[in-house]
Amino acid sequence: MRISEEMVRHIQSIIKKTGYIPNRAAASLRTGKTHVIGLIVEDIANSFFASLAKSVEKAAAKVGYRVVYGSTENNDGRGNDLIQLLAKQVDGFLIAPSIGMKTSVQALKKSRKPLVLIDRYFPGEEIPFALVDNYAGVRKATECLIKKQKKQIAFVNIATEQVQMQERERAYVEALQQNGLFQKKLLLRLPYYQDKAQYEPRIHQFLRKHPEIDAMIFATNYLGMFGIKALKDLDIAIPKQVAVFSFDDTDLFRFSSPAISVISQPVQEIAGQAMRLLLEQMNSGAKKTESGEGVLVPPELILRNSV
């Protein structure tokens, strides 16, 4: 590094004067690095994924990476297309995979493409992941309701094999079982609808069928949203008649009256951990890559006026 400061300044002034900007495509062709990462989520318009996208963008920008995104809408085909499409264009992936993306994700891993799963993961597969501790979150919420003497606690979930939803449900089931309170009929599993408004009549119907319910936990933000709507439409008082928890924190829950208690995901922390794991892989080069380190970020139980 025997270059004088003067020369450095001189060159930089020329760079500025001529407006030289290196051609990334050329550098990319030569080095094989694109300095772009691919973010594949379920739905970029969902407040959780939108916040995540913002945190990911910030974390990526800090280390010189750009982010391209894509929404799968839990459609396997679309997800696999996205992976295929982006595989050669990104240095690494952050993916919230649907079940049917397992094969493509495995192929990605086999091809040694840096990759971190977010929001969910494939149990048994040695693929790094960063997500909230779903079990701990719902467990805490359920126990909170039990402590409040609730006896008929319902759980509304999406019918899916996705591990994060399974874990949320398992926490609910186990907490109730250990207190002798579990009743299968109070566990509602609904299909994944593209059009979220369809959840409202389904939950409405469920509530009419089970007037004994005195507490509810909704497994996602949109279930919570439409669940609360259904409760209000039926003139069921929150929390007097039915106490409510929802997974995910959103403006709607914060501003609802009563304000809704939630299991909040520390989005920034999740994004930060995911980027850390991704950078580890991207920078490891020929070094052996840690195979399959997973990070479970503790959720935050936010108690508002709905319990």
Partner DNA sequence: CTGAAAGCGCTTACAG
Interface residues toward DNA, by CB under 7 A:
2, 20-23, 26-27, 29-31
Do residues 257 and 195 lie in contact, with contact meaning Cβ atoms separated by under 8 Å?
no
Distance in angstroms (rounded) separating the CA atoms of residues 246 and 9: 57
Say which entry of DNA, its own copies, none residue 180 contacts (CB below 5 to 8 A, set by partner kind): none
Distance in angstroms (rounded) separating the CA atoms of residues 212 and 210: 5
Residue with tokens 């750009």: 66
19: left (phi over 0), alpha (psi -120 to 50) or beta: left
Say which entry of DNA, its own copies, none residue 271 contacts (CB below 5 to 8 A, set by partner kind): none
Distance in angstroms (rounded) separating the CA atoms of residues 47 and 270: 15
- Candidate ranges 62-70, 94-102, 269-277, 289-297; the one touching its own copies (CB under 8 A): 62-70
| 228 makes contact with its own copies (CB under 8 A) | yes
Say which entry of DNA, its own copies, none residue 2 contacts (CB below 5 to 8 A, set by partner kind): DNA
Among 83, 86, 94, 117, binds its own copies (CB under 8 A): 86
Among 44, 99, 181, 187, binds its own copies (CB under 8 A): 44
Among 138, 158, 175, 225, binds its own copies (CB under 8 A): 225
Site residues (vs its own copies, CB under 8 A): 21-26, 28-29, 34, 36, 43-47, 50-51, 53-54, 57, 61, 66-71, 84-89, 225, 228-229, 232, 250-252, 255-257
